[in-house]
Chain A
Amino acid sequence: MSQSEVVVDLQLAREHGLTEQEYACILEILGRVPTFPELGIFSVMWSEHCSYKSSKKYLRALPTEGEHVLQGPGEGAGAVAIGDGLAVIFKIESHNHPSFIEPKQGAATGVGGILRDIFSMGARPIASLDALRFGPLDDPRHRHLLRGVVDGIGGYGNAVGVATVGGETGFHECYRGNILVNAFNLGVVEADRIWRGKASGVGNPVIYVGSKTGRDGIHGASLLASAEFGEGAEAKRPTVQVGDPFTEKCLIEACLEVMGADVLVGIQDMGAAGLTCSSFEMASRAGTGIEMDLDLVPQRESGMTPYELLLSESQERMLLVAQTGSEAKVKEIFERWELDAAVVGRVTADGLMRIRWHGKTVVEIPVDPVAENAPVLDRPLREPADQRGRQRLELGQVAVEHDPAGALEALLDSPNLGSKAWIYRQYDQLVQGNTVLGPGGDAALVRVKREDGTPTSKALALSVDCNPRWCWLDPYEGAVAAVAESARNVACTGARPLAVTNCLNFGNPEKPETMWQFAEATRGLAAAARALRTPVVSGNVSFYNETAGRPIYPTPTVAAVGLLEPWERFAVSHFPEEGLAILLLGETREELGGSEWLALRRGLEQGPPPRVDLAHEARLHALLAEGVRAGAIVAAHDVSSGGLAVALAACCFTGPRGVRVGCEVTLHQSLRLDALLFGESTGRVVVASREPEALLGLAGERAVPAVRIGTTGGSSLRIAPSRGAPWIDAPLARLESIWSRALPRRLETDEAIGLLPSEVK
């Protein structure tokens, strides 16, 4: 298609996802009808995915500043100081729609993209997490999606040499038409060596590095990520990019090398909307313009049009602005890593993006109106009609659990609470040699080394969390709980939560009910982040997660990052030995609303989710840090889905050191039994201690309710009332076998009919 043949009009603009109003705005900015490539540029830059036009109003209310924050939202990722001249850079991002269409490549490129956001700021990526949501596993399509996504994350992360140290995986009917793949990465950098995406210095060369540009992923941001799925989502497969972790690995090394060579001015990933978004954003931040010749762009295919070159989302590419005269040095470094590096343009003073192709100017747009003046919408809100109804729960009408041991087994066997080892065994959890605590516990713990390999006394605790059912029942409380839980998990290692990043997965924002959920959830995030002093330093919004009009449950995924120093003193999440006192911190209330037990055993998704007492939560986190530091806490495990009984079972199961230790617990029954054993009151942690008296003292000082409930030892999980027969007295071997088979036994149905060889144990 020749550029001159395409006539741009409102109809074509609409096909590009632009509204009539937006098209009028384009005409006004340009003072003329846009060329075809210009229309393409506006459509991606003003897409929901790139412009945050529906969410901006609410994101502004999030607390983004704090004493440690070096960089809040707006750059590739957020940066937080961790002392001794070091900083961490981290972010979580969605790759939902691509992963639903092509799970392996969708997930792989999700990992690749988030890595580039991190190392483009100068940090070496050291740890990844993933938050995944699928439909029910009895649907063969979702077994296929799970396999593909895990294969993609592992295939990319393992080969690129960055450890995947944790994550969260959940299954629910609401994701049947729209899975979620949220990828988190964190890197470490010298705090005074953080790079930003800035095209400053008139005359400086603009250098394209990395993979060649192909026709893949055109309109991924505008058409794939910014519209809901209807029937025929399959046809969108060509808009999914293909990842190449080997090139990414070389790109990481080459970029870190060039950053150390004192030749760089600015650098940015070519992510969503590729060359367009990166060049506009870099020029906009510096208040400059860029002049670029598309014929100089390294190309994988012949005959690519300006439209395609500008909108391609080919992976593993970066845009650099270097100092004049350093072109040869930059090329030398990239050539050593066998990567393309081509000067494609210069920084200019006129504030224009001027792009030439075959000797003609095909794009001439003022930078700022495109990058900065994207439309900001104030979409209508409406509380869903049945919202109040969802929260109604007459506990008196819900039959009390008469088989607590059976309920425990059913919960441990459920895909949501069962072991996720089938997933994380496929990820390299160890590369770079920093993994103190890997997947399978509350939070991962990763030791920090300097770029030259010198170990430090610091470790970072990382956790990613969200309870979508709670968010559906009450988006405000659900979002508060997501922040509280991720921070609590981090605190369970002994670390102090520093900051959070979030990935806000919602349905179609054009529906007032979805926007109401979004507004409520962000209000909750803001309240919790403020109360726990964990600013939101980066994040991503993913709208249009719905298919055929059925939206997902609101899923504001929150990842918390904490600092532990000195790292050698940390708590594990499994009982490490016999004879330890077991204490329960926090208060158990009669809260069964939104619980796994209620959903699994009574088939109800009803009721108010448990309330979070943020003041208590802050005190609890401080107590955990102090208790671990003082040596009074050796193990700590957050009580979450499945309640106290499931938490105790998890503490007993075989830990990373290969040890399995049982426990005997006695509970005073003050509320209905199912609420006591399976209720999900927040702000609770099971801890194991060698010095229970000292710990009770510390808890008293901090006004955190604490009670000794038992002792570790034996090979059973025994939970009994103060008087009478135990409610649960089960051999751990049996419980752990049920729990560890939860995923494999569901995936083996395919293997039994010969689709895959049998699982090796």
Chain B
Amino acid sequence: MFAVVQFPGSNDDRDMQFALKSVLGAPASLVWHKAAQLPRGTRAVLLPGGFSYGDYLRCGAMARFSPIMAAVRRFAEAGGFVLGTCNGFQILCEAGLLPGALVRNRDLHFVCDFVHVRVERNDTAFTTRARTGQRLRLPIKHGEGCYFACPELLAQLEAKRQIVLRYVTPEGSVAPAANPNGSVGNIAGIVSEAGNVFGLMPHPEHAVEPALGGTDGSILLGSLLDRVKREAA
């Protein structure tokens, strides 16, 4: 019931499937980007990290034209849950399913590190296992993760409570020092206005096993699993 879309150049597709299937016990299958339809019974779509089409044009700019994206758009418009991590977040922005854009990191370097993010609200389908204000330790690994929104859009995101994750210090404060890429408002993840599409730069799928990056990623993926199960019941 979880569909993980595989674009040419996706890298974290198998890792997302592994996190969902082997760790969280959720049925998850890989769906080739050329497919015209999502598999029957899809309850949530995951757009994984990686470098779709090499990210040669602009991150996510090619992938949004893949045939599967029309189906993903219809799915999202019908209220289906879509979660995009890293390159998946970039694709969602390019496809217009999420507002704003992800641009080159402030220091122009790719960055791979563990960061702390604060859950700004726990009433989304992706955060119910967290407390509002809870700090999660998650890895990031990207060269173009600097979230940009113009002041008007930023105000709108704030007003409509679309900001779900912000980079914070280990103590939990939204400080410039905690911002790994220069994102406006330390934004690490946002939801769509309707709340069913979630994009984030951190990789929850790489934080689901205690000895490999901790388990804070399970909080996000597990929340989605809970929601999908509840709806199926």
Which of these, A338, A453, A656, A758, contacts B22 with CB under 8 Å?
A453
Contact with B along A400-438 (1 / 0, CB 8 A): 000000000000000000000000111111111111100
> With A246-B53, A425-B112, A760-B106 in contact, is A431–B141 under 8 Å at CB?
yes
The answer to the question of A447 belonging to the interface, with a C-beta cut-off of 8 Å to chain B, is yes
Which chain A positions have C-beta within 8 A of B118? Answer: none
The answer to whether A432 and B15 touch (CB under 8 A), given A159-B9, A159-B54, is yes
**Whole-angstrom distance from the CB of A658 to the nearest CB of chain B?**
7
B204-218 vs A, Cβ < 8 Å mask (1 yes, 0 no): 011000011100000
User: Does B42 count as interface, using CB distance less than 8 angstroms?
Assistant: no
B182: chain A residues within 8 A (beta carbon): 760
Q: Are A758 and B107 in contact, CB atoms less than 8 angstroms apart?
A: yes
| Binary CB contact string for chain A from 441 to 458 against chain B (1 if under 8 A, 0 otherwise) | 000000101000111000
Q: How many A-B residue pairs have CB under 8 A?
A: 106
How many B residues touch A, CB cutoff 8 Å? 44
Shortest Cβ gap from A646 to chain B (Å): 24
Contact between B18 and A433, CB atoms less than 8 A apart: yes
Is A761 interfacial (CB-CB < 8 Å)?
yes
A337 on interface, CB distance cutoff 8 Å: yes
CB-defined contacts of A155 to chain B, threshold 8 Å? 110
Instruction: Check B18–A453 contact: CB distance below 8 A.
Output: yes
Whether B212 pairs with A436 at a CB distance below 8 angstroms is: yes
CB-CB nearest in chain A for B32: A336
Verify B112–A426 contact, CB threshold 8 A.
Answer: yes
Asked if A154 CB lies within 8 Å of chain B CBs, one says yes
- Tell me how far the C-beta of B148 lies from the nearest C-beta in chain A, rounded to whole angstroms: 16
User: Which interface residue of A431, A433, A455, A759 has the most chain B CB atoms within 10 A?
Assistant: A433
Given A425-B109, A756-B108, does the pair A430, B9 have CB atoms closer than 8 Å? no
A430 touches B14 (CB 8 A): no
Contact between chains at A158 and B15 (CB < 8 Å): no
Give the CA-CA distance A449 to B212 in the complex, in Å. Answer: 13
Tell me, yes or no, whether B55 is within 8 Å of chain A by CB. yes
B122-171, CB < 8 A from A: 137, 139, 141, 143, 170
In the complex, which residues 559-597 of chain A have their Cβ closer than 8 Å to any Cβ of chain B?
A: 568
Against B, the Cβ 8 Å flags (1 = close, 0 = not) of A158-171 are 11110000000000
For A247, list chain B residues within 8 Å (CB). 54
Which residues of chain A have C-beta atoms less than 8 A from B141's C-beta? 158, 428-431
Contact of A431 among B12, B53, B179, B212 (CB under 8 A): B12
B174 beta carbon closer than 8 Å to chain A: no
A49 within 8 A of B: no
Contact B112 A761, beta carbon cutoff 8 Å? no
Contacts from A to B (Cβ < 8 Å): 154-155, 158-161, 244-247, 249-250, 337-338, 424-436, 447, 449, 453-455, 568, 656, 658, 756-761
Bound CA span A656–B112, Å: 12
B108 near A757 with CB under 8 A, answer yes
Q: Nearest B residue to A761 by beta-carbon distance? A: B177
Pairs A-B, 7 closest by C-beta atoms: A246-B54, A161-B11, A159-B51, A433-B15, A760-B107, A428-B141, A426-B110
Given contacts A427-B110, A436-B212, 14 further A-B contacts (CB under 8 A): A158-B141, A158-B143, A159-B51, A161-B51, A245-B51, A246-B8, A338-B8, A425-B113, A430-B206, A453-B17, A453-B18, A757-B108, A759-B107, A760-B106
Q: Does B114 contact A (CB under 8 A)?
A: yes
Find chain A residues with CB under 8 A from B8 CB.
246, 249-250, 337-338
Complex CA gap A426/B143 in Å reads 9
Contact residue among B54, B139, B143, B179 (Cβ-Cβ distance under 8 Å from A430): B139
Q: Tell yes or no: B180 within 8 A of A by CB.
A: yes
- CB proximity to A under 8 Å, residues B1-47: 8-9, 11-12, 14-15, 17-19, 21-22
- Given the interface pairs A246-B54, A338-B8, the reply to whether A760 lies near B22 with Cβ below 8 Å is no
A435-B212, A658-B170 known; A246+B17 contact, CB < 8 A: no
Q: Which residue of A lies closest to B6 (CB)?
A: A253
Within 8 Å CB of B110, what residues of A?
154-155, 158, 426-428
Residues of B within 8 A of A453 (CB): 14, 17-18, 21-22
- Are B112 and A447 in contact, CB atoms less than 8 angstroms apart? no
CB closest chain-A residue, reference B113: A425
A156 CB to closest chain B CB (Å) equals 11
**Binary interface profile of B, 165-209, with partner A (CB < 8 Å = 1, else 0)?**
000001000000101111000000000000000000001011000
Nearest-CB residue, chain A, relative to B140: A430
Q: Can you report 14 residue pairs joining A to B where beta carbons are below 8 Å apart?
A: A245-B51, A246-B53, A249-B9, A249-B51, A250-B9, A425-B113, A426-B110, A430-B203, A430-B213, A432-B15, A436-B211, A447-B212, A760-B180, A761-B177
Residues of A within 8 A of B55 (CB): 159, 246
Partner of B112, one of A159, A160, A337, A428: A428
Q: Which A residues are in CB contact (< 8 Å) with B22?
A: 453-455
Question: Which chain A positions have C-beta within 8 A of B206?
Answer: 430, 433
* CB of B82 to closest CB in A, whole Å: 22
For A337, list chain B residues within 8 Å (CB): 8
Q: Provided the pairs A246-B8, A430-B206 are in contact, do residues A158 and B109 lie with their beta carbons within 8 angstroms?
A: no
B32 to chain A, nearest CB (A): 8
B212/A433 in contact, CB under 8 A: yes
User: Counting CB contacts under 8 A, is B228 at the interface?
Assistant: no
Q: Is the CB of B112 within 8 A of A430?
A: yes
Complex: how many Å from CA A159 to CA B87? Answer: 11
Chain A residue numbers with a CB within 8 Å of B21 are 453
* Interchain CA distance A756-B179 in the complex, whole Å: 19
Partner of A161, one of B50, B114, B170, B211: B50
Q: What is the minimal beta-carbon distance from B109 to any residue of chain A, in angstroms?
A: 5
CB distance from A464 to the nearest CB of B (A): 19
Contact assessment for A658 and B51 in the assembled complex, using a CB-CB cutoff below 8 Å: no
Q: In the bound complex, what is the Cα–Cα distance between A453 and B53 (angstroms)?
A: 24
What residues on B are CB-neighbors of A244 within 8 Å?
A: 54
Given contact pairs A430-B203, A431-B141, A432-B14, A245 touches B54 in the complex (Cβ within 8 A): yes
B218 to chain A, nearest CB (A): 13
Contacts of B56 in A (CB 8 A): 246
The smallest beta-carbon distance between B26 and chain A, in angstroms, is 14
Residue in chain A with minimal CB distance to B170? A658
Q: How far is the CB of B201 from chain A (nearest CB, A)?
A: 13
Give the chain B neighbours of A436 by CB distance below 8 A: 211-212
Q: Tell me if B76 counts as interface (CB < 8 A to partner A).
A: no
Given the complex of chains A and B, what is the CA–CA distance between A337 and B32 in angstroms?
11
Min Cβ gap B140→A in Å is 10
**Which residues from chain B contact A447 at a C-beta distance below 8 Å?**
212
**A250 — which chain B residues lie within 8 A by C-beta?**
8-9
Smallest CB-CB separation from B50: which chain A residue?
A161
| Residue of B whose beta carbon sits closest to that of A422 | B109
B51 cross-chain contacts in A, Cβ below 8 A: 158-159, 161, 245-246, 249
Task: Chain A residues near B95: list those with CB within 8 A.
Answer: none
Select from chain B the residue with minimum beta-carbon distance to A424. B112
* CB-defined contacts of B54 to chain A, threshold 8 Å: 159, 244-247, 249
Bound Cα distance A494, B221 (Å): 33
Residues 57-109 of B contacting A (Cβ, < 8 Å): 105-109
Q: Which residues of B contact A426 (CB under 8 A)?
A: 109-112
- Please indicate which of the listed interface residues A246, A432, A453, A760 has the most CB atoms of chain B within 10 Å of its own CB: A760
Task: List A contacts of B9 (CB < 8 A).
Answer: 159, 246, 249-250
Inter-chain contacts of B143 with A (CB < 8 A): 158
CB B33 to nearest CB in A, in angstroms, measures: 11
In the assembly, what is the distance between CA of A453 and CA of B18, in Å?
Answer: 7
Known: A245-B51, A447-B212, A453-B18. A431 touches B11 (CB 8 A): yes
In the complex the two chains form, what is the Cα distance from A453 to B22 in whole Å? 8
Which chain A residues lie closer than 8 Å to B137 at the CB level? 658
- Provide the bound-state CA to CA distance between A155 and B55, in Å: 11
Chain B residues, Cβ within 8 Å of A428: 11, 110, 112, 141
Bound: A154/B109 CA distance, A: 10
Give the complex CA separation of A337 and B10 in angstroms: 12
A662, B141: Cα distance in complex, Å: 30
Contacts of B14 in A (CB 8 A): 432, 453
> For residue B179, which residues in chain A have a CB less than 8 angstroms away from its CB?
760
